[in-house]
Amino acid sequence: MTFEDFAVGVGLAIFFLMLPPLWRIIKGPSALDRIVAVNVIGTKTAVLLIVIGIVFKRVEMFVDFALAYALLNFTGSLAAARFLHKTKTGDEVDEEGAAIES
């Protein structure tokens, strides 16, 4: 068994570990659960890109891809969480975040 065969096995294991969060995206009880599941899949995808780089013996190129993808995943999750936090209650809030009563 070569190192590349081991990397392929690790890649397949990571891929199959993406299936439970996929189920959470489909059946998640709330939007925040779905955001966390998408973030988990994004993190595993970044690791999978490194494993693909090992298989193709071009790790230096795939590290750049993985870092860019991880940064996009992180900022996307923050943006979605911030959007949901602002639209969740529908109430107006002041600068400190306290609810304004009408």
Write out pLDDT tens, residues 31-86: 888 999 999 999 999 999 999 999 999 999 999 999 999 999 999 988 988 888 78
- pTM, rounded to two decimals: 0.75
In the chain, the number of structural domains is 1
Range of the domain at 79: 3-87
For residue 47, give the nearest of 79, 74, 15, 21 by alpha carbon.
Answer: 15
Asked, for residue 99, whether it belongs to a domain, the answer is no
Stated as kind and residue range, the H or E segment containing 40 is helix 31-55
Residue 94 inside a domain? The answer is no
What pLDDT sits at residue 89? 58
pLDDT tens digits, residue range 9-22? 999 999 999 999 99
Contact call for residues 93 and 99 (beta carbons, < 8 A) = yes
Is a pLDDT exceeding 70 seen at residue 2? yes
CA torsion through residues 88, 90, 91, 96, sign: positive
How is residue 101 annotated by DSSP? P
pLDDT of residue 1: 82
